[in-house]
Amino acid sequence: MHSATFRRSRARLVVLLPMLALIAGACSSTATQAPTAAPATQAPTAAPATQAPAETPAAEKVYKIVLSNNYVGNQWRLQMQNIVKAMVANNAPYKGAVDLKVIVAEGDPTAQIQSLQSIIATKPDAILLDASSSTALNPVLQQACAAGIVVISFDQTVTEPCTYRVRERSEELYVSNAEWLAASIDYKGNIIRDLGLPGQPLSEISNDTTSTVWKQYPDIKVVATFEGNYAPGPSQKAVASILATNKDIQAVNSLAGSDGVIQAFLQAGVPLVPMNNTGDIAVRTLELWKEHKGEGTFQIQFADNPPTFGGYALEVAWRVLHGQDPVNTEWGMTAGNDAKEIFLPLLVYNTNGITDKIPAKVLPVDDLDPESYAAHAVLTLDATTTSGNFFIDDEVLRRAGVTDLSKYSVVPGSKQLLPDLFL
């Protein structure tokens, strides 16, 4: 997966960067003005003894921001990190004004707690946190807040009230997927269920909300579960193992890695069934949908949990550090249940038009925002002449033959397009 989407209200850019490249955080420098030579005929004038030397203008502050991540076992997390790096390296107002460090503490919450203690000792201005636990990190986060560090929890959020929490209405997102899947099989049948990444807050929310929804429908049977780790590889391997012993499956509840689930069905020769995906809207999954729609009972719904979360967290940190309202409404943010909770837009995309009992805004997959198509167009160009260049997404679409861009408008009927960044 080489593309990711970032909705923003600034210039819409497609940035081609190698996914495994480490993008150094931009450093600011203050230009010094060369001294002006005095005219040759003019004798230098000594400064009066009482006159203080002229003050040198103060350099603009460079903010030290640390991104603390606890997992890099899937493409989503790598994309998330690289989006933040790309924004700091290329985008105003962060370029030259943010010194970014990315620190990964893989393992259980203890590893991230120890990492955070080390981070706090360096006295950064802000910490962007993708947490390994919703509660275990709270004591160390209280230490960070007491030290005057702005803490932005995002994606896998914490419950510590001193932190800013940038999140979707995750419960509603998972209810949307559970209700859609149930309706897509007429509320009866055998389902394979993805438990996600064990211990992660979003996995726990998904499991709780999905169980609650399906208790309403006694004819739905969860016949197997697997831990997909939010990645296509583990998902494909686990589902292949399940299909080897039970091919009587009517649906798959996938938290992410749906392209791996699809591949498992295809390789096992089992007819495709309705399935969902929570996470980025993967170009590969869209391609598989286009190749195989109409086969079996195949339908799909994407619950949009984009890797651009890190970019939203960076923007919130920037605004807090500058004394601004943390909620940037131009980016689609809305205020949450308290002054430090920020919600992102809640969207799902599906292929069969089901909207009943779905709390999220439902859009058709065929009208997905343009980044998937622009990314595909760019990624099929010659890499030797394309890599490292910047592209405006609507220009890419027009060159690819797309002429009607009205469906991508932020406001229906306007010419303001959904703004996106690709990696």
* pLDDT tens, per residue, the chain with 423 residues: 333 333 332 223 333 332 222 222 323 333 333 333 333 333 334 444 444 444 545 568 999 999 999 988 777 788 889 889 989 998 899 999 999 999 999 888 999 999 999 999 999 999 999 999 999 999 999 999 999 999 999 988 999 999 999 998 888 989 999 999 999 999 999 999 999 988 888 888 889 999 999 999 999 999 999 999 888 899 999 999 999 999 999 999 998 889 999 999 999 999 999 999 876 556 678 888 889 999 999 999 988 777 788 999 999 999 999 999 999 998 889 999 999 999 988 888 899 999 999 998 898 887 554 455 555 555 555 556 655 555 555 566 566 555 565 555 444 444 545 444 443
This prediction has a pTM of: 0.67
Instruction: Clarify whether residues 155 and 221 are in a common domain.
Output: no
> Do 247 and 199 share a domain, yes or no?
yes
The pLDDT of residue 156: 87
Domain shared by 76 and 187, yes or no: no
Give the DSSP letter string of 218-279. TTEEEEEEE--TTSHHHHHHHHHHHHTT-----EEE-SS-HHHHHHHHHHHTPPP--EEEEE
Q: Which of 317, 332, 363 is the last residue of a domain?
A: 363
Q: Coil, helix or strand for 346?
A: coil
The answer to whether residue 3 is domain-embedded is no
Whether the upstream peptide bond of residue 93 has omega within 30° of 0, thus cis, is yes
Q: Is residue 228 part of a domain?
A: yes
Look at residue 282 and tell me if it is in a domain: yes
Report yes or no on 1 lying in a domain: no
Q: Do the domain assignments include residue 393?
A: no
Would you say residue 395 lies in a domain? no
Q: What letter would DSSP give residue 408?
A: G
Q: Residues 211, 152: one domain?
A: no
Residue 243 and residue 227 share a domain: yes
| 288 and 175 together in one domain | yes
Contact present, 303 and 276 (Cβ < 8 Å): yes
Q: How far is CA 397 from CA 24, 143, 380, 388, in A?
A: 30, 48, 13, 19
- E-strand ranges in 137-236 read 150-154, 164-167, 189-194, 220-226
Q: Is residue 204, in this structure, part of any structural domain at all?
A: yes
Tell how strand 275-279 and strand 251-253 pair up.
parallel
- Chain center to CA of 21: 18
Q: How far apart, in whole angstroms, are the C-alpha atoms of residue 155 and residue 229?
A: 15
Provide the pLDDT for residue 386: 59
Same domain (yes/no): 216, 357: yes
Domain identity same for 74 and 165: yes
243 and 358 together in one domain: yes
* CATH number of residue 229's parent domain: 3.40.50.2300
Say if 190 falls within a structural domain: yes
Domain holding 123, by residue range, is 61-169+308-343
Identify the residue whose tokens are 């295809």: 266
Residue 318: predicted pLDDT = 98
Tell me if 23 sits within 8 A of 86, measured CB to CB: yes
State whether 329 and 238 are in the same domain.
Answer: no
Based on the fold, state whether residues 239 and 355 are members of the same structural domain: yes
Q: How many domains does the chain have?
A: 2
Task: Using DSSP bridges, classify how beta strands 347-350 and 300-304 pair: parallel, antiparallel or unpaired.
Answer: antiparallel
* Co-location of 320 and 174 in the same domain: no
* Interatomic CA distance for residues 307 and 279, integer angstroms: 7
pLDDT at 110: 95
